[in-house]
Amino acid sequence: MTRTSDRIALRGVRFYGHHGVDPAEQDVGQWYHVDLDMRLDLRSAGVTDDLNESVDYGEACRLVMQLGARRRFALIEALAEAIATMVLESFPVEQVWVRVRKTPPSNLVEALAEYGSLDYTAVEIERGRVASD
């Protein structure tokens, strides 16, 4: 499959979730930020001016927020994977790139304070459709 250079980019999709390895992170929760690139051929949408030929990015945002707010994951890697899978299953995209970002847990910030600081942690993944035989 040829990779298209067309993409729809969503930046700063934000939701409050209860993810983390530390039980305190899951109990208290925090804000998560997701950036998403959905690659697909947008030529037809550009010519026809028809949303059915593209991706409804409002719906994509809603699904990401809903997944992040309702499900729980220990790792942001698992959250990113679930988002990528959901996008590929829900929309006619060829590839998806996902970045999930969160502030580090307070115990890690405290442990590092003697040496410096850490603003956030992030995971980035890229997934594509599996070619069928």
Q: What is the DSSP string of 74-102?
A: S-HHHHHHHHHHHHHHHS--SEEEEEEEE
Catalytic residues: 102
Percentages of the chain per state (helix, strand, coil), in multiples of 5: 40, 30, 35
